[in-house]
Amino acid sequence: MRSFGFAAAAAALVLWPAVGSAEDWTKDSAPFVASALSQPMSGLVERARGGDPNAALTLGLAMLAGRFNPASLDETPLAALETRMLPLVDAHVKAHPGESLATVNWSGVANETRDEARFVDHYEQVHSADYWLERAVFSVVKTEVPVPQRPNPKDYGENTVGTPAFARGTMTSSAIDINLIFTAAHCIVAVRRAAGMDYQPWGTLPLSVRLLQHMPRQDMQARVDGDLAGERKDLHYPTGAAACGSDDQFQADVAALKAAG
């Protein structure tokens, strides 16, 4: 199990410095919030499975709001997986005291089967908002850009300054700005709490699922709570209910979530 976190995941990409004000992020995230709070979940699930990062973000936000993912899943294999994994964890802890479970390749330790890997992936899709949120974080776009090449002196006369040549290069950047994602998450969490909806954070998923997960995970709920507690300074995005915009908008979002259920 490896958990790099949302910020580290974003830092792993080639990103331009954040630009825009808190108001900009609130405005840009509003359509995602509105869709997450009101659109039918069945449609959100179908679109997210198609691989579109915008759809993945919307579904992740909807699940973060406490809305139920209606996708079907036979959870019968979970009991057997837990029964098989827990003794392996106990044995590893005794053999390597003090080692973080997050640094262990549990898939290798357990000789995870394809069926088990498939089940873990499907379980996260149905039960983990962070599965979809991190798909949005890790989604990238590649853009062709001109890259200057150092002139070769042999191509020019002794007193001639050569014109720099350009070749095609590729710039990789995030498909959705991380500040937009955090803004939307703050709004959604504030709305969910005001609406009194239940939520299952990633850290409460079965241990075997968390150990064998196939993408880096971090509990977005914990990230939001950390921001609200002042763990990070100089944030580029708004926090709490302010991330929704005005108080009237916040109350409208709460009403939308209560209506959607």
Distance, in Å, from the CA atom of 128 to the CA atom of 98, rounded to the nearest integer, reads: 28
- Rounded mean pLDDT, 84-107: 91
**What are 201-216's pLDDT values in tens digits?**
888 899 999 999 876 6
161-168: long-range pairs with CB below 8 Å, 24+? 168/144
How confident is the model at residue 31, as a pLDDT?
97
Please state, for a pLDDT cut of 70, what percent of the chain lies above it.
Answer: 78
Distance, in Å, from the CA atom of 137 to the CA atom of 76, rounded to the nearest integer, reads: 31
- Rounded mean pLDDT, 108-118: 94
Q: How far is CA 123 from CA 83, 113, 116, 223, in A?
A: 17, 15, 10, 22
Shortest CA distance to 50 belongs to which of 114, 141, 132?
Answer: 132
Domain ranges of the chain: 6-150+165-260
- Rounded mean pLDDT, 84-93: 93
How confident is the model at residue 55, as a pLDDT?
96
Q: Quick check: 127 pLDDT over 70? A: yes
Question: 141: which strand partners?
Answer: 173
> How many residues are given for the chain?
261
Q: Quick check: 175 pLDDT over 80? A: no
Least confident of 5-19, 45-59, 61-75, 192-206: 5-19
How confident is the model at residue 174, as a pLDDT?
66
For residue 158, what pLDDT band results from cuts at 50, 70 and 90? low
- Rounded mean pLDDT, 101-114: 91
For residue 95, what pLDDT band results from cuts at 50, 70 and 90? very high
- Rounded mean pLDDT, 82-90: 94
For residue 155, what pLDDT band results from cuts at 50, 70 and 90? low
Q: Quick check: 93 pLDDT over 50? A: yes
